[in-house]
Structure 1
């Protein structure tokens, strides 16, 4: 593919992403790997500096997203969740899904060495693109795009019962507020022994605070605790809006 054709493909992809880049050279720089420039005898930074900017913007956006969704959760769990969401494997997964991996400008040797499949190159290029988007369109537009392409993945990770210990967070919060007995009650179990689905109610002093279902009692209890924490967050938000 000719260089001009590569550029046209990048411009079309950006248009499909709903982004209007004013600074096209900045866009191209964000997708230019150093190997591509080195082949031409150009030893400039390629997309490394933009990667540095994009890393911070992505971290801020993801932090805001998960805090808004899980503000009642222990800060240690939030930090672990954020670290996973901005890790190289997850960024590479997103880059593949949105088609960015096919747009990166690589040198011939890197191309032959399967550089387009390397998580590190994909992750760095995605961060560089985010950095360029931030510099060109501002934080609000960059945040909007990040939420668009990462939202589904974030929600998947939030719902993983092993990602955040909702039970401990809920128990600690109730202890601080002097609440009474916390009970997780299995209301039913459906299916054969090898493939049961458990349904659990979370009760505090006999009142139902949350419900959940899962392939194990532990998973169902975590989901019930997550629902209870979300209700607490909603009530808190309503109280603040009234005051």
Structure 2
């Protein structure tokens, strides 16, 4: 994609027009791309800064708006809001994987969908906005984009480990035998996709897909929880 078009499309997704477009370009540049080019910066230093900016803004917001919560509880909620999964959710909303500069090798092995790469890129973009537009602007940007995640965290609706949550939920009803069955896998060894069913009392309660067995099992448990909640409504 042409660099100019790339920048403009991302600015549209973000709702931000950069004064210094090179900051944004650096924020979306993975180290694998920079290693193949001369004099190209990549986003790891911006990621370092963005992590701190995000932590500060979320911490201040929780401190001011949830005065009834203890320090420990606020820390736990903040960890859910700024965790890798939440950042990955934001990246998907922006369709960020389509725009990251990375090497062909990284792309072939699934880099455009890799949670860690996308999450790190979100932090780098936050840093770029902070440097380009200042703290007040980036605060508004963060709180707008993270509003739904903040609300879910405060309402205890964010789950990091769906397998554990499913087990705890079912054990409330007594001892239940939970099995995760790998139904099939496909694709080349470097990009294998796994399909897993979670089976409870000989019934498939949920199915999941992932690029590792662990990810597929978590997604199957997630669907199982969703299906159980649907039945209880």
TM-score range, shorter chain: 0.5 to 0.7
TM-score by structure 2 length? Answer: 0.64
- 2:86 pairs with one of 59, 76, 90: 90
How much has 1:103 moved relative to structure 2?
Answer: 1.4
What does 1:171-182 correspond to in 2, within 5 Å? none
| 1:101 to 1:162, Cα distance in 2 relative to 1, 3 A | closer
> Superposed, which structure 2 residues align to 1:19-168 within 5 Å?
19-40=16-37, 45-160=41-156
Distance 1:140 1:79, change over 3 A: same
User: 2-side partners of 1:16 and 1:95: how far apart?
Assistant: 10
Give the total of aligned pairs: 160
Q: Give yes or no for contact 2:33–2:103 (8 Å, CA) kept in 1.
A: yes
The structure whose Rg is larger is: 1
Segment of structure 1 superposing worse, 53-62 or 95-104? 95-104
Displacement of 1:79 in angstroms is: 0.4
Following the alignment from structure 2 to structure 1, what is the Cα–Cα distance between the partners of residues 94 and 64? 25
Listed one character per residue, the Cα deviations across residues 119-168 of structure 1 (whole Å, up to 9, x for unaligned) are 110111000000010000000111111111101111111112799xxxxx
Equivalent residues in 2 for 1:156-235, closer than 5 Å = 156-160=152-156
User: Are the structure 2 counterparts of residues 7 and 35 from structure 1 closer, same or farther at C-alpha, using a change threshold of 3 Å?
Assistant: farther
- Give the structure-1-normalised TM-score: 0.61
CA shift in 2, pair 1:121/1:50, >3 Å? same
Give the Å deviation of 1:45: 4.9
User: What's the CA shift for 1:9?
Assistant: 2.9
> Residues 58-117 of structure 1, C-alpha deviation per residue, up to 9 Å, x if partnerless?
001111222222121011010011112111111111111122222111110000010111
Cα offset, 1:17, TM superposition: 2.7
**C-alpha distance in 2 between matches for 1:76 and 1:54:** 23
Partner of 1:10: 7
CA–CA distance in 2 between the matches of 1:90 and 1:161? 12
| CA–CA separation in structure 2 for the residues paired with 1:80 and 1:124 | 21
Deviation of residue 16 (structure 1)?
A: 4.3
Q: Structure 1 residue 36: deviation in Å?
A: 0.8
Q: Judging changes above 3 Å, is the alpha-carbon distance between structure 1 residues 19 and 119 closer, same or farther for their aligned structure 2 residues?
A: same
Q: CA deviation at 1:41?
A: 5.0
Q: Deviations over 1:191-237 (max 9, x none)?
A: xxxxxxxxxxxxxxxxxxxxxxxxxxxxxxxxxxxxxxxxxxxxxxx
